[in-house]
Amino acid sequence: MNDLPPPNEPSLSYRLGLAVVRGVSAADAPEWLVYDPRLDALVGPGHRLSELRDWAARSDVPERGGTSDDLDAPLLDPRTPREYQREAVERWQAAGRRGTVVLPTGAGKTLVALLAIDQLRTGACIVAPTRALVAQWFTQLADAFGVERVGAWYGDEKEVRPLTVTTYHSAFALLERWGERFDLLVLDEVHHLADTSAGEAKSWHDALRIAPASFRLGLTATYADRQDSELVRLAGPVVYRRTIGEMTDVELARFALVRRYVRLSSDEEQRYAAFTDTYERHLAHAGHRDRAATPADAWRMFAASARRSPSARRALRAFHQRERLVRLAAGKLRETERILRMHPAERAVIFCGGTDAAMAVSRALSIPMITASTPASERHALLGALDRGDIRAVASVRVLDEGWDVPAAKLGIVLGDSTRGSGRQHAQRLGRLLRKQGDAVASLYELVAAGTYEFFAAQKRGAGVRRVSEGQLGFGL
Amino acid sequence: MLTRAHVAPFLRIDRGIARLSYLIDAEGRVVPFLDRMCRLVSRLEARSRDVVVEALRRQERRVRDATRLAGIAKALLDACDFAPPEGAEYAPAVRDALFRARGTRWPPVPGDLRIPYEMAAAELGRTASDIERLLYADRPGARVLARAPRMDGRALLARYNLELARAALLDAERIVIRARGGWRAIFRAVKLARLMHVVRRVGRSYELEVTGPAAAFLVRSSRYGVRFARIIPALSSARNWRIDAELRRDGGLVAFRIRGRPRPAAGAPPVGHVARRASLDSAWERSLASDFRRRVDSNDARWSLSRETTPVVMGDELFLPDFTLRHADGREALIELVGFWTPEYLEAKARKVAAANLDTLILVVYRGLSVGKALDTLTAAVGMDRVVWFTKQPRAADVLRVAERVARR
């Protein structure tokens, strides 16, 4: 029996989000550790593992378990970092490699992260708010360090590589299991981690709390200074900040916005009227609009009533069928073809109001579609083909809406809207087309089915663009 | 799995206790309706998932509560086997060929919409209508129903209720499991879900408290709810089970209890499914069990062999011997079978066995093992007199001889 190791020899390890200290009495360990009967050990949150490493080194407690990945490739990026990008990395390094860099949209935050990764050459986990951004990071990292070193972890796609990109939603599961492999966390659009207005931490912080990574880099264009107490604790303070006014070398492309009205066919018109009639008659009969204080309240009452009322269900279904009819109106497809012929040399992105519409466009025009379920590697390949000109257009559903670079695309066609006239979504679509490339003028066409609810939604959208373009992007229409 | 939206309308909280309105067949109309749903799905074999989903949704006309129907449909769909349609594996190549073809003929002009299809067909040696059919044949909605669940209305009712209870666990922070049998599957599920547990003895039985590893340090401490829900299917190998959960609702904690009871007791809703017989993992386990049955049938009925074993706690590890041997006079011995394994495995097993310090444990070891030192370690851990060797098949008679000596009350 003597050759069996003693059951409780001192050790420090990471397990499922916990920093675990075994074989050490509570009196000899840092006082913030707590006893965990499940493990018969002292435990603390994973993010304090680096503190415990210092203590363990002093107290001769060996660390057991995995170590961070190595990144065995240098950064290959043809871009020369601008002065402010170098400066940002230096400040971050001087602050102990913990902290947030605030730079305006389009100023090249990604390159700052690439430089930081290149400096450390260890495993890094990049966390972004949306799948679209995950795919975008995947592409940039693959170009910079080699595709075999980059993995994506979200939804059905789960591949851990030295550089792994994930969403805030999936980060918890990734870091709980594989946290030890990453010594650096890159937190994109870190303003999403600001405290709530009530001063509480958001649940997305959980991933940061369990991650053992010693180094953390936040990136954002809009930092909430008074709501950052938890963020500072978990990722460090703002270490570098430049505003748009200070940036003379950031430019956005000029663009033209064109709205085209399309007519429904007579058959479509008849069906539109029938759906509207079913829907409106139910609403008038149920009287939600009279009783509710706001249209949003009326809608909530209506949607809730559909659970138990067959008549409300029919009305709700008519409402959705009407939306589908407008999304898929035949005239929009014909008009799209016409616009593509007017701009034969441009790469185009066609924004659709739903997966069904994107698939119809894809089948009709023989062009690829990108939806939320398109894997990051496939999107990477598709956008590469678009860039090279092997394909000339893609149909997309929302995916390309937030934070996606398609610098080659200078033509956008909006066929429908999945957010019922959100100005923000519209402005983001514009943003995609607005990355400066030579003197190209971007064009955004908006196809609106005349005589339908879309007309009003389009007007709301237009107002949103004006607001956003004057404020955030810094130029008017 | 059902979602919070499927369960929310049926969860009522009253003085700190959450109660679920299960579906009950009070007037004898529910089970026939569910029978019809099951038959409908069986008729749709070989049709696409999109078609099955739409057919189930259309049953809306026949019910008052659409959320109930959506939950039942989801439970039924989750029990279906869908498979990719024929040729789905070619879809990426078809897309590639079609989109490249269009890239060479840009922009599209009136009347040429079919041309890329024909170009792609020529390239791949197929017809244009093949290209059209296969273009998106690999999307989830295109999968075809390979096998409808062999389930009747009564079984669907019990299953839906179980799924409803399971979805309530999505907000759980902590669960305590009590079960008769099936522990092996339960522990495996807990481990697979990356949860942590504490085992407590309660009278002659055990209870298992399961918690999320880092829950105490998190903003959203109910984050592990989905993993608790994932344990539920493992309970199907227990004959009887109960879960006491704490749910986080509106900022506070409420108690919630699920009882697994696939056949309706008086006035109670059926929840769960009929317990499966625990399966034997290896051929040797099966052979030992059948040798026992033969002996018991012939003469020696004083001993009985059971798969239902007692979990043995060792620190944060848990050890589940393969069998429990019980004598009519109340004595028990535990049996662990050691077949072909690597030296590392045997070393780890020896450490576990030694740590457990169980003097009623009998090791039944395959003689063909030539793992040297590891085997010495194993023998040292339990003592030579509690190891039974076998070469071809383990023999019940040899095991019983040792059991007579080591079994205790």
pLDDT in tens, B143-198: 999 999 999 999 999 999 999 999 999 999 999 999 887 788 888 899 899 999 98
User: Is pLDDT of A378 > 60?
Assistant: yes
To the nearest whole angstrom, how far is the Cα of B299 from the nearest Cα of chain A? Answer: 40
Percent of chain A with pLDDT over 90: 46
Chain centroid, CA A184 distance in Å: 19
Mean pLDDT computed over A15-28 = 93
- CB–CB contact A392 B377 (8 Å): no
- Averaged pLDDT, A422-448: 65
Phi-psi region of A335 (alpha: psi -120 to 50; beta: other; left: phi over 0): alpha
Q: How far is A384 from chain B (nearest CA, A)?
A: 13
Residue of chain A minimizing CA distance to B196: A38
Q: Would you say the C-alpha torsion A227, A229, A235, A241 has a positive or negative sign?
A: positive
- pLDDT at A473 > cutoff 70: no
CA distances from B103 to A339, A351, A368, B108, B192 (A): 16, 19, 11, 10, 47
Q: Is the pLDDT of residue A252 over 60?
A: no
Straight-line distance from the first to the last Cα atom of chain A, in angstroms, rounded to the nearest whole number: 82
Instruction: Find residues 108-127 of chain A whose CB sits inside 8 Å of chain B.
Output: none
ipTM of the complex: 0.79
How far is it, in rounded angstroms, from Cα A403 to Cα A313? 37
Least confident of B200-214, B215-229, B306-320, B389-403: B306-320
The predicted model gives B121-125 an average pLDDT of 96
Greater model confidence, A200 or B58: B58
Distance from B151 to chain A by nearest Cα, in Å?
A: 27
Could you give phi then psi for residue A35, rounded to 5 degrees?
-80, 135
Chain A residue numbers touching B218 (CB-CB < 8 A): 203, 206, 209-210
Nearest-neighbour CA in chain B from A176: distance (Å): 9
CB pairs under 8 A between A and B: 124
pLDDT band at B362 (very low <50, low <70, confident <90, very high): confident
What average pLDDT is seen over chain B? 86
Lowest average pLDDT, out of A43-57, A437-451, B245-259, B295-309, goes to B295-309
CB A69 within 8 A of CB A125: no
pLDDT of residue A474 exceeding 50, the answer is: no
Residue A135: its pLDDT value, please? 82
Residue/partner pairs of B223-228 with CB below 8 Å, 24 or more apart: B223/A172, B223/A203, B223/A206, B224/B172, B224/B173, B224/B195, B225/B169, B225/B170, B225/B171, B225/B172, B225/B173, B226/B1, B226/B170, B227/B193, B227/B194, B227/B195, B228/B169, B228/B170, B228/B172, B228/B175, B228/B193, B228/B195
- Contact between A209 and B117 using a beta-carbon 8 Å cutoff: no
**Res B296: pLDDT:** 67
Shortest CA distance from A211: residue in chain B: B214
pLDDT level of residue A471 (50, 70, 90 thresholds)? very low
How many residues appear in chain B? Answer: 409
Whether the CB of A318 is below 8 Å from some CB of chain B: the reply is no
Q: How, if at all, do strands A157-158 and A409-414 pair?
A: unpaired
Check pLDDT > 80 for residue B341. Answer: no
The pLDDT-based confidence of A226 (bands split at 50, 70, 90) is confident
Quote the tokens at residue B314. Answer: 């060792």
Closest residue by Cα to residue A449 from A274, A266, A318, A261: A261
How many angstroms separate the CA atoms of B187 and B231, rounded? Answer: 9
Under an 8 A CB cutoff, do B381 and A1 touch? yes
Task: Give percent of chain A with pLDDT exceeding 70.
Answer: 84
Q: How far is CA A69 from CA A34, A141, A379, B275, in A?
A: 29, 16, 26, 45
SS3 A34: strand
Give the per-residue pLDDT at A253.
54
Interface test with B, best of A366, A386, A392, A413 (most B CBs within 10 A): A366
Q: Check residues B16 and A463 and name the one with the higher pLDDT.
A: B16
In A, minimum Cα distance to B112 occurs at: A365
Share of chain B above pLDDT 90, in %: 49
Question: What confidence category does residue A166 fall into, taking pLDDT thresholds of 50, 70 and 90?
Answer: very high
Q: What is the pLDDT of residue A376?
A: 78
Q: What are phi and psi of B79, to 5 degrees?
A: -90, -5
Q: Rounded to an integer, what distance in angstroms lies between the CA atom of residue A398 and that of residue A418? A: 8
Compute the average pLDDT of residues A310-331.
Answer: 93
Question: How far B387 CA lies from chain A's nearest CA (Å)?
Answer: 16
The answer for A 193-212 residues in CB contact with B (under 8 A) is: 200-203, 205-206, 209-210
